[in-house]
Amino acid sequence: MPILDLSIDELLTTTRAVRKRLDFTRPVEPEVIRECLSLAVQAPTPGSMQNWHFLVVTDSAQRAALAAIYRKSTQAPGGQEDMLKHMIAAAASEEEVADLTRMFAPTRYLTEHLHEVPIHVIPCIEGRAENLSGASQAGHWGGIWPATWSFMLAARSRGLGTVLTTLHLDFEREAADVLSIPYDQVMQVGLIPVAYTLGTTFKPAVRKPLENVLHWDRW
C-alpha cells in the first residue's frame, strides 16, 4: 500500500480524530486493514499475554446495527445530546452557545453517518474488567490501547482516517449480540470507524501548553 510522505513527528502530530473528512464512497481494501493490524500487534502487551483481539466489521447490516446502538447511546438520558443541552442551558453568551455547537458538530456528524463508514474496527480484550481494582484494570484492558493507537497511526500513514470512540459501550451487550462476541468473556473497549480521508493534510491539534500538564519529579 502507498505510504504518505510524512515524517514520524508529522505522523504523531497529525493523526487526528477524523469524522467530517471520512470518504464514505471509497472502498477500503481488506489488505490495508490487515497490514495496519500486523503493525499494531507489535505494540507492548501486559505480561506478553496479548489477550486482546481486533474485530473488523465490513458487513453493511452489522455496521448499521452498530450505528443504531451508537446513536441510541448519544440520545439516552445523560448521553451526549443531554450533555450538550445542559451545557447550552448553562452557557453565558451566544458566543459560548456557538462554540459549544461547533465543538459538538463533528461528533454529531459521526453519529448521523456512522453506518456509512466502510469499516468499523472493535478492539476487544479477553476477560471483563468491571470487578477489577483500578490497578488491575490499568494492566488488563489498558493493555490494548498501545496496539489500538499503533493501528490508528498505521492507518493514517496509509491515507486512512480513524477516530477512537467509546459511546456505543453504554449498550455493549447489544453490540456483542450483533457481532457474536461472548460478552461474559470478552470486553469491547471501543469502536474505530475507518475510511480513506478527503485530502491527506491534517494540522496538529490545539492542546494545553505542555507546562500545564508536565510534572517533573513531583506533582
Ligand X SMILES: Cc1cc2nc3c(=O)[nH]c(=O)nc-3n(C[C@H](O)[C@H](O)[C@H](O)COP(=O)(O)O)c2cc1C
The contact set with ligand X (CB under 6 A) reads 16-17, 19, 107, 110, 163-167, 205
CA separation for the pair 1, 30 (Å, rounded): 11
Neighbours of 16 (CB within 10 A): 17
CA separation for the pair 22, 197 (Å, rounded): 5
- CB of 101: closest distance to ligand X in angstroms? 15
Whose Cβ is closer to ligand X: residue 118's or residue 161's?
Answer: 161
- CB of 150: closest distance to ligand X in angstroms? 15
CA separation for the pair 37, 174 (Å, rounded): 25
Question: What is the 3-state composition of the chain as percent helix, strand, coil, each rounded to the nearest 5?
Answer: 50, 15, 35
- CB of 217: closest distance to ligand X in angstroms? 27
- CB of 36: closest distance to ligand X in angstroms? 18
Q: Quick one: CA torsion of 211, 213, 217, 219, rounded to 10 degrees? A: 120
Whose Cβ is closer to ligand X: residue 39's or residue 169's?
Answer: 169
The set of long-range contacts for 165-170, using a CB threshold of 8 Å and a minimum separation of 24, is 165/70, 165/110, 165/190, 165/191, 165/192, 165/193, 166/190, 166/191, 167/70, 167/73, 167/74, 167/79, 167/80, 168/66, 168/69, 168/70, 168/73, 169/73, 170/72, 170/73, 170/76, 170/79
- CB of 191: closest distance to ligand X in angstroms? 8
- CB of 8: closest distance to ligand X in angstroms? 18
Whose Cβ is closer to ligand X: residue 17's or residue 76's?
Answer: 17
Whose Cβ is closer to ligand X: residue 98's or residue 105's?
Answer: 105
Whose Cβ is closer to ligand X: residue 35's or residue 137's?
Answer: 137
Whose Cβ is closer to ligand X: residue 30's or residue 199's?
Answer: 199
- CB of 21: closest distance to ligand X in angstroms? 11
Whose Cβ is closer to ligand X: residue 9's or residue 184's?
Answer: 9
Per-residue DSSP letter, 106 = H
